[in-house]
Amino acid sequence: MEKKNLSLVIIVLVALISGILLGNLISSRHYQHFDNTFSDIFHNISRSDNKISELLQLIDEYYVDTVDINNLTEEMAIELIAKLDPHSVYIPAKDLEIVNNELEGSFSGIGVQFNIQNDTIMIISVISGGPSEKAGLLAGDRIVMVDDSVFSGKNITNEKVLRKLRGAVNTKVKLGIKRQGTKELLGYTITRGQIPVSSIDISYMVAPTTGLIKVNKFGETTYSEFLTAIAKLKKEGATSFIIDLRENSGGYLDRAISMINEFLPAKQLIVYTEGKSYPRFDANSDGSGSCINNPVVVLIDEFSASASEIFAGAIQDNDRGTIIGRRSFGKGLVQQQKPLSDGSAIRLTVAKYYTPSGRSIQKPYQNGNNEDYNMDIYNRFLHGEFYTRDSIQQADTVVYKTRSGRTVYGGGGIMPDIFIPRDTTEFTPYLNKVVNYAHLYQFAFAYTDKNRQQLSKYKDWKAMVGYLDSQNLLQEFVAYAEDKGVKAVPKEIKQSENFILTHLKAYISRNILGDPGFFPILFIDDETVNKAIEVLKKKKEK
């Protein structure tokens, strides 16, 4: 791939890699025997005069200069846990709530989705039924003051905004709102409440008898959301399913097991886990699933990790469906999260998981050396793996067999049955610039803001596309980008036209309709989705 496209891919890699490293979790409610073991270990440590405590005490009493022992302890905890493996992590108390919210079914806050543009907090959407909607906030509003203090400028970060807007249920926050078309600053006092967190981005009929379900994580409520999505799609005529796990970095192991159970006949192995202090645990299907006889395709890519790989591995090893996409991340380690006395926590690797054929898909790592491990996906990109199947290298040369005798390999992710390369035919230096500087997204928001009244007339993505296709979106965007310093290059714009227009229409639609207005537009020309539809159509014709 040409160097001019390098930064476009790097942005995607950096944006997604951090979520994967937090990894797959065992839900403690279902593994109480390990909770007891864990407690015993820490009890023994607390009773002993361990070297770390001695060192801290000596430094505190005798070191030549004053040292902040609390900060030093935090740094030591981070380094200590990092020496174990790439997925065991120490979580400081100040970060624990945000980290946990990734997998919990809800959090408490004001109920808005926001982005920071031009050093200002822009409300992208207001969650239906949430505190902000009840108070009268609107998509497009700018939050410029919080609790009577100016809250904008170059130092504003997503983390700072979350800390300001989230808080305990029934607590209040005062906001100063700048609204387009209104000269004066609007004041709102909002009482925080519980905000649901969805882990199903969308479920819709992608073809006459095929339903697509896009799962972004395996969280507290994912299984119940999944059942609801399946029931809805079956009611709409779905007899086959596409489960999209691309960019899904994992989550709770037991939720993945429950979801896989929906597709497998009774007494088939889903996954097994085992560790030094963790007896082997086999998860088997019970035959109660709602989709045992429905054809299924699973979509994965290089950012599908842990629970996503368990799902894909179980479907593949049991020859239950087709896996389409690119080689997955390669995380076969399972963590248990345990709290510490000061409000912090650790996620400690306690076991490895194995697919039904017996393979571990964990890619190689060296204890205490996470740099090479973290760079693996980037190195895979440089090696050309995203573009040609022949460039793929898995560490484990041991042959494993699926239920029907097909050969599969471990030691570095799940290899798809059908490989789909990244499409770079539309990549140009012009596209690289407008993506890197977020001009596509920013234009879409500005366009939505300017035309919100008209756009709000369209209630589904097809109607939205019909309207946007009648507008001069490309010309308006090119002028916008030129005003931002990106010179128009007609030849490159022509080559990238489909990418630009598809993403502009998807972003604008999401600003009005949410994710149900976003993904169907993005997936119209998605080669992986279209291949899945083709595979399921052929199965139906047999």
Give the DSSP per-residue string, 490-542.
HHHHHHHHHHHHHHHHHHHHHHHH-GGGTHHHHTTT-HHHHHHHHHHHHHHH-
Residue 488's identity, in one-letter code, is A
- Considering the candidates 85, 141, 301, 317, report the single residue annotated as catalytic: 317
Contact 127, 195 (CB under 8 A): yes
Active site residue 317: yes
210 vs 207: CA distance, rounded Å: 5
Active site residue 306: yes
Give the side-chain half-sphere CA count within 13 A for 220: 12
137 vs 370: CA distance, rounded Å: 44
Give the DSSP per-residue string, 285-353.
--S--S-TTS-EEEEE-TT--THHHHHHHHHHHTT-SEEEES------EEEEEEE-TTS-EEEEEEEEE
Give the DSSP per-residue string, 428-483.
-HHHHHHHHTTHHHHHHHHHHHHHHHHHTT--SHHHHHHHHTTS-HHHHHHHHHHH
Contact 242, 532 (CB under 8 A): yes
Sequence-separated (6 or more) residues with CB below 8 Å from residue 228: none
* Residue 129, both tokens: 């039924």
Residue 229 neighbours by CB distance under 10 Å: 22
- Considering the candidates 164, 214, 331, 363, report the single residue annotated as catalytic: 331
Find the largest Cα–Cα distance for the chain: 80
159 vs 261: CA distance, rounded Å: 37
Contact 440, 504 (CB under 8 A): yes
- Considering the candidates 108, 306, 360, 509, report the single residue annotated as catalytic: 306
Active site residue 18: no
506 vs 496: CA distance, rounded Å: 16
274 vs 269: CA distance, rounded Å: 14
Q: Which residue in the block uniquely carries the two structure tokens 């227009």?
A: 501
Task: Taking the CA atoms of 492, 498, 503 and 504 in sequence, report the sign of the dihedral they define.
Answer: positive
Q: Which residue in the block uniquely carries the two structure tokens 């995380």?
A: 331
Residue 188's identity, in one-letter code, is Y
Task: Please give the positions annotated as active site.
Answer: 306, 317, 331
